[in-house]
Structure 1
Amino acid sequence: MPGPDPEDRGSVLLDLYLALSRRMTGVAGWQLKRRQARGKEDAARLPERLGRTEVPRPDGPLVWFHAASVGESLSILELLRRLLDSRPDLHALITTGTRSSAALLGPRLPDRCLHQFVPVDALPAVQSFLDHWKPDLAVWTESEFWPALMHETRARGIPMLLVNARLSARSRNRWRRLSGLSRHLLGGFDYVLAQDATTCSYLKELGVSEERIEVTGTLKEGSAPLGCDDDAFRLLSRALSGRRVWLAASTHAGEEEPVLAAHRIARRQYPNLLLVLAPRHPERGDEVAELIAGQGWNMARRSEGALPDMHTEVYLADTLGEMGLWFRLAAVSFIGGSLADIGGHNPFEPAALGSAILTGPHVDNFRDAFARFEEAGAALTVTDGATLGAALADTLQPEVAAAMASAAWDASSAGAAVTDRALKLLLDHLPEPV
């Protein structure tokens, strides 16, 4: 006898999930309190995670963007600005799930845009959130899919778009085991803009119909260059007095050791070389500082307000929101999350600010982008501290760094078309202005 139909099985799974979700408010509240105790939730804004807020809904049409965390939220800022410029009658709401994203977004949000923490996926919290905000359009980014939130949004007839979609092989395999459920959820998107052909094929396999998806590239290509504080840039430039500087950006546990080994190798050729070491998570600052000090480096810490002097060998940039500053100061940038098996981080940010790019091999999150950069001579792949050190010493030669930075700029400069396409899609799914 044939097994149960995947669609029927998916419907049953969704019904079971929603039944559980209706009863999860108490458990969610307990989990949020635990996260708050660990510093992962903002106590003053905890009600937002349960769908409650004292912030009034603005009058007129409202577009709701959901972005999981820092990278996703920053990638849509240029799209958000252009959308609000195009429609003066619009307001926008952006939801994220992390304190770091809220801290970074606050000063960067354009007028007529609000931030809230996304509600937990308990149905009462989701319903409270949607009852209050009543969005006219819901825009998901990348691949954070919460079943109750997606189901309830679709059930209310709110158009749903997925932009900048990216799905890893690991996530695709998890969803394949729930293929019926994925078809219920992903089939609810009115249209999808995928970053690459691989994501496109995965999403079609999981339930997005052929006529509702296209490959455009990543919005991170079309994002405005990261900003920086002009006074801080001038102050640091004076403190560095023309020294060669390289950056290890967004490093993760296990990557600082090979970065420091590479720094030691490169300093044989460039004795005055300064490393700016910027951990992905600044709360790891004490741990990284202990490692640096344990190896005998002369170190200064950004979080303590210290500036590097001529004796500083490693400058620990354990702060949030200053990556635009470091990319401007560094001739060469190693992009972390790539020696550790994290999936890599955004290469378009250093490319937009004139920094040559080095990376490890684990770049699944940006594989197409890094392949394009390497083909253009804009990036080099390394495998460990020794190869990073050798590549760094070579790339620090002014003519090599300049050629790679120029190639990176050329390879990324076509990105404005990605934002143009996303903007048109959003405008096409909004009600006409009154």
Structure 2
Amino acid sequence: MYRTYRILTRYSGAILSFILHKRCKAGKEIPERILEKKGNSDRPRPSGTLLWIHAASVGESQSALILVSQLTALAPHINILVTTGTLTSSQLMESRLPKNAFHQFFPLDHPKWVEKFISHWQPNAVIWMESELWPNMLNEIRINNIPAILVNAHMSDKSFSSWKKMKPLAKFTLSTFSKILCQTETDKTYFDQLGAKETIVTDNLKYSADTLDFNQGDLDSLSLSIKGRPIWLYASTHKGEESLACDIHKTLKDHFPDLLTIIVPRHPERREEITELCRLYDVKIAFRGANKILPNKNDDIYIVDTLGELGLFYSLTSIACIGRSFSDDGGGGHNPIEAAQLNCAILHGPNVQNLQDIFDDMDTDKAALCIRDSKHLCDTLSILLNSDNETAILQSTALEYSNKKTHIIEYIMSEIISTLENKDSSGILTTKPGSA
């Protein structure tokens, strides 16, 4: 089955090039770096040990940053290459990676492009994050005998159903990984059934993430501009959720005339689309933008179309609804731990399958509230905006929950070290230059 996949992708170059061209025109790619998507790079490989970490998008990138920090502290002599596939994740990496780490775009899964990528970078070992599996790239890693481990592995029901229909290809692809560290028992079962070599459950790496940082001066400026207005935050929204926020705002404004609704889109490049949508609701909107424009007293909706400021707005508000839990694309949810760490009362919609175990656990502990629909969200926000005590109880429970599993990184790191320090990888983390 892999042979068929390889033949099909071998002749996909023209189609993939056309798709990349269209994405450039739509502002979804960086034209100057588009060749990276074809396995090329004008950056030379650094001398010495190179560890490659692949994280598909923003969510995986946040988890990857935890490992980058830990690995840098453990082995400051190594170089770390981090690849991602999206514009937003690349911007996150460019702003957060330490000096010994650098970012490149992940090449599309064309056989020649992945061969060029591996030939150029020649990584000593690979850490693959979460769930994105590309057969040609993983085959290239395998035939070059590069040690690889899949960390924080997750597989949705939908993905499992798809891979199950192609089990020989799944088994072949997963054979690249000498070990798979799974988020949950369900994930372990799915990977086992698809033929993975060795799987263990380590829980979710997101529990060990550092608290999102923010600029205290920006927080002071925002607090002053809001001047005690009732506020709520809709964080990491996707298509369909901005209209929900506007509907809720219009309803709640009858009871809270000076209400401010803050929306942080997951993808800031959707600014024009969101602008057109908000105009339909006859609400006054303000965009934060690169100049950090502050909301004024007449603004209804404040759109945060910037990157890297989610920590600032979690710190500003007491109430946060987690995005992609009501979205038009079927949802999946985003990481609620970040909001919990910054003392927010957390609400979320019913579609949180990407992080189901975390949300279920939080709901059980009353560290978050699962909201059924728009009316339920409106009613819940009304109660919380009216009751500082109810809000404070939710905030306290969420913060306490976020501190329960911070130790998970220690377990995951021990598994990574034991895998990468085996005889096949020649002590990548402990062998310093000149000591071989």
TM-score normalised to the size of structure 1? 0.92
User: What SS does the aligned partner of 1:312 have?
Assistant: coil
Match 2:405 to one of 404, 415, 429: 415
1:354 is the counterpart of 2:343: yes
Match of residue 7 from structure 1: none
Match 1:310 to one of 260, 281, 297: 297
Count the aligned residue pairs. 420
2: distance between equivalents of 1:272 and 1:398? 17
2: distance between equivalents of 1:390 and 1:23? 54
Q: Is this contact kept in 2: 1:262–1:390, CA < 8 A?
A: no
Kindly report which structure 2 residues correspond to 1:42-81, keeping only aligned pairs within 5 A, or say none: 42-81=30-69
1:378 is the counterpart of 2:367: yes
Compare 378-387 and 283-292 and name the one that shifted more: 283-292
Higher helix share: 1
2: distance between equivalents of 1:19 and 1:292? 47
2: distance between equivalents of 1:395 and 1:161? 44
1:342 is the counterpart of 2:328: no
Match of residue 272 from structure 2: 286
Cα 1:415/1:111, change in 2 over 3 Å: farther
2: distance between equivalents of 1:405 and 1:152? 47
Q: Deviations over 1:24-72 (max 9, x none)?
A: 4444333322322222221111121111112121222111011111111
Kindly report which structure 2 residues correspond to 1:248-259, keeping only aligned pairs within 5 A, or say none: 248-259=234-245
Q: Is this contact kept in 1: 2:130–2:151, CA < 8 A?
A: yes
Q: Deviations over 1:217-268 (max 9, x none)?
A: 2111111111223332221121112322210112222222332232334344
User: What SS does the aligned partner of 1:60 have?
Assistant: coil
1: distance between equivalents of 2:28 and 2:248? 33
Deviation (angstroms), 1:163: 0.6
2: distance between equivalents of 1:213 and 1:365? 19
Q: Deviations over 1:47-105 (max 9, x none)?
A: 21111112121222111011111111112212211111111221111001111111111
Kindly report which structure 2 residues correspond to 1:156-235, keeping only aligned pairs within 5 A, or say none: 156-209=144-197, 212-235=198-221
User: What SS does the aligned partner of 2:23 have?
Assistant: helix
Deviating above 4 A after TM superposition, structure 1's stretches of 4 or more consecutive aligned residues are none
Match 1:247 to one of 233, 236, 245: 233
1: distance between equivalents of 2:285 and 2:19? 38
2: distance between equivalents of 1:214 and 1:414? 21
1: distance between equivalents of 2:175 and 2:403? 33
Q: Is this contact kept in 2: 1:52–1:128, CA < 8 A?
A: yes
Amino acid across the alignment from 2:333: G
Amino acid across the alignment from 1:266: L
Match of residue 250 from structure 2: 264
1:390 is the counterpart of 2:376: no
Cα 1:304/1:76, change in 2 over 3 Å: closer
Amino acid across the alignment from 1:31: I
2: distance between equivalents of 1:144 and 1:257? 30
User: What SS does the aligned partner of 1:275 have?
Assistant: strand
Match of residue 152 from structure 1: 140
Q: Deviations over 1:200-232 (max 9, x none)?
A: 1111111114xx211122111111111223332
User: What SS does the aligned partner of 1:76 have?
Assistant: helix
Match of residue 4 from structure 1: none
Amino acid across the alignment from 2:148: M
1:319 is the counterpart of 2:309: no
Q: Is this contact kept in 1: 2:141–2:176, CA < 8 A?
A: no
User: What SS does the aligned partner of 1:253 have?
Assistant: coil
Q: Is this contact kept in 2: 1:244–1:331, CA < 8 A?
A: no
Amino acid across the alignment from 1:149: M
User: What is the root-mean-square deviation of aligned Cα atoms in Å?
Assistant: 1.7
Amino acid across the alignment from 1:180: P
Deviation (angstroms), 1:299: 2.1
2: distance between equivalents of 1:256 and 1:19? 42
Structure 2: any 5+ residue segments left out of the alignment? 422-426
Compare 410-419 and 53-62 and name the one that shifted more: 410-419
2: distance between equivalents of 1:379 and 1:290? 32
2: distance between equivalents of 1:423 and 1:118? 24
Percentage of pairs with the same residue: 36
Q: Is this contact kept in 2: 1:79–1:422, CA < 8 A?
A: no
User: What SS does the aligned partner of 1:415 have?
Assistant: coil
Match of residue 427 from structure 1: 417
Match of residue 405 from structure 1: 395
Q: Is this contact kept in 2: 1:219–1:415, CA < 8 A?
A: no
Match of residue 10 from structure 1: none
Deviation (angstroms), 1:132: 1.3
Match 1:126 to one of 114, 122, 143: 114
Q: Is this contact kept in 2: 1:25–1:124, CA < 8 A?
A: no
Amino acid across the alignment from 1:401: T
Amino acid across the alignment from 1:238: L
Match of residue 263 from structure 2: 277
Deviation (angstroms), 1:426: 2.4
Q: Is this contact kept in 1: 2:245–2:261, CA < 8 A?
A: no
